[in-house]
Amino acid sequence: MLKRLLITGAGGGLGRMARQRLAHLAETLRVSDIADLGPAGAGEEVVQCDLGDKRAVESLVEGCDGIVHLGGQSVEDRFSVIANANIHGVFHVYEAARRHGCNRIFLASSNHVVGLYRQDQYLDHTAVPMPDTLYGLSKHFAEGLARMYHHRFGIETAIVRIGSCFPRPVDRRMLATWLSPDDFVSLVERVFAVPRLGCPVIYGISDNDDRWWDNSHVGYLGWRPKDNSAVYREEVCAKAPPPAKDSVEALYQGGLFVAEPIREE
């Protein structure tokens, strides 16, 4: 069991779930966000801070022996916003981890690191990144940072290219990208249970019939996703008409992100 697990982004969609469902991994759960998280529950510490604030992150990480790093800008935005949270922010997290001897991190990367691949391409962890947005590119930076800190300083990271982690798939693309909340939780559990983690790229998807990504290289984690988006296929297809054949939504793994404008400044 960990002594103190830090969850960043604890006010977000995944963070709220992690806060509720991952407390058993540690004696103390330290939850953090730039947003107000309300009062600390039993066994919790609450720290409000901006990941872009190096000093604040330095003390945020102190005393933690594991991090579930979910905090940051989670969709495309202006470069300044992405740079603060996802570039400076993730650097601050890794630097603080190195200084304080925190050696295991679950890093929320994204499928948008490979968003410019086409939906008829099947990828594994060796695929050359093809980010679809500044957001996807910031996650590619985070992945590189994780590798550098692994090879130079021994910090182990699960680089998880999350597909679409929501209660249920809501469009046709998500039939391939869906990660169920239960499978997300079981993945985090394995990441902190396995004796040797290394620094693998893991595609964060459930056991969907539709799939673009291969996880066979991480069998050693013992993660067995149990859910399958196929259960929702009828419902999704009834609600969401098929996108036009030549639309980005139908062509690219990143879907509509591929059509996002570049927002400067």
Query: Is the Cβ–Cβ distance between 86 and 72 less than 8 Å?
Result: yes
Least distance in angstroms from the C-beta of 99 to ligand 15L: 28
Helix axes 54-61, 89-100, angle to 10 degrees: 40
CA distances from 25 to 43, 68, 83, 169, 239 (A): 12, 11, 31, 28, 38
Q: Pick the catalytic residue from 135, 149, 203, 252.
A: 135
Residues 92-151 that bind ligand NAI (CB under 6 A): 108, 110
80: enclosing H helix or E strand: helix 79-82
Of 59-67, 107-115, 193-201, 234-242, which part binds ligand 15L (CB under 6 A)? Answer: 107-115
Least distance in angstroms from the C-beta of 65 to ligand 15L: 27
Instruction: Tell me the per-residue interface mask from 67 to 96 with ligand 15L, x by CB under 6 A, - otherwise.
Output: -------xx---------------------
Task: Identify any residues that bridge with 47 across adjacent strands, giving them in sequence order.
Answer: 32
Residues 176-235 that bind ligand NAI (CB under 6 A): none
Select from ligand NAI, ligand 15L, none the partner in contact with residue 14, using the beta carbon and a kind-dependent cut-off of 5 to 8 Å.
ligand NAI
- Read off the tokens for 81: 């916003």
* Interface with ligand NAI: number of residues (CB under 6 A): 25
Task: Specify whether 135 is catalytic.
Answer: yes
- Read off the tokens for 199: 């620094």
Cβ neighbours of residue 162 closer than 8 Å, sequence gap 6 or more: 14, 108, 109, 110, 111, 179, 184, 204
What is the binding site for ligand 15L (CB under 6 A)?
Answer: 74-75, 110-112, 164, 177
What is the binding site for ligand NAI (CB under 6 A)?
Answer: 9, 11-15, 33-35, 50-52, 70-74, 84-85, 89, 108, 110, 162, 164-165
